[in-house]
Structure 1
Amino acid sequence: MKPVRYAILAAAALAATPSLAQGRLGLLPQGEYVCALPGVADGAAWNEVEGHGFSITGASSYTTDKGSGTYLLEGRRVTFTRGPLKGHKMMRVSSGLLQELDRDGKLGRLRCHRAGPVRD
């Protein structure tokens, strides 16, 4: 095989690798995010989960009741990279709505929505 063919095959393999093709880097809208689980038919539509909320405070930064950290937004995938939520992954469903991702990359039940501006 000619060297050009090897280069084309290598480029195609890299482009098909999911971990390298996540998307553009971005930022989440600043504000308070409240996290909840879906409710039941004969009760509340949503059940807020205490201790899971966070605030997006600036460029790739967040805070919780337990401290602060950083996150990375690649395409629609949010990965908390430092701080109390380190390792937690979410999918950006819309501009103000995130949904948790489990270890297999499947959407979980927990959803976090932007509830308003950051409170002092």
Structure 2
Amino acid sequence: MKELEGIELKPLAIVLLAAAASTMAAAPSHAQGRLGLLPQGEYACALPGTADGPAWNEVEGHGFSITGASSYTTEKGSGTYLYEGRRVTFTRGPLKGHAMMRVSSGLLQEVGKDGKLARMRCHRTGPVRD
């Protein structure tokens, strides 16, 4: 019998532990896709308008700037985001917990708490203003 830090293990237990460890190392859980970076620039967020009014209604206070290296800024401060596959998750700062889906180049759509696409969209309007 072998010992592991003072605990006696039988040969079968050693094999099972080794198999479990190799399985966990080989398959990461919840993998969505490749990591990436969003295009730097200012992003304005809006809701769809109506047929008899403006096509889009900008939502004040929801805009942000992608400043590089997985970083963003808002009127309320700065933070970081994770862009994995097509999903963007704000991980720190004022937008922490907010999720979006990249639907096309420069266009993100809000993901609701239920995991479904919501109505608000954020589009890149141009370079970051100083």
User: Is the pair's TM-score, using the shorter chain for normalization, greater than 0.5?
Assistant: yes
The count of aligned residue pairs is 109
* From 29, 33, 47, the counterpart of 2:43: 33
Alignment deviations for residues 46-93 of structure 1 (CA, whole Å, 9 cap, x no partner):
000010000000110000000000000000000000000000000000
Asked which structure has the greater RCO (Cα within 8 Å, sep 6+), the reply is: 1
What SS is found at the alignment partner of 1:92?
Answer: strand
Which segments of structure 1 move beyond 6 Å, counting only runs of 4 or more?
A: none
| Rounded Cα–Cα distance in structure 1 between residues aligned with 2:70 and 2:37 | 6
Looking at CA atoms only, which structure, 1 or 2, has the larger radius of gyration? Answer: 2
1:91 maps to a residue whose letter is M
Q: How does 1:1-120 map to 2 (within 5 A)?
A: 20-120=30-130
Q: Identify unmatched segments of 5+ residues in structure 1.
A: none
Alpha-carbon shift at residue 20 of structure 1 (Å): 1.7
Q: Which runs of 5+ in 2 are unaligned?
A: 1-15
Distance across 2 between alignment mates of 1:98 and 1:84: 18
Tell me the SS of whatever aligns to 1:20.
Answer: coil
TM-score w.r.t. structure 1 length? Answer: 0.85
Q: Could you tell me how far 1:21 is from its partner in structure 2? A: 2.9
- The one-letter amino acid paired with 2:38 is L
Task: Give the TM-score of the pair, scaled to structure 2.
Answer: 0.78
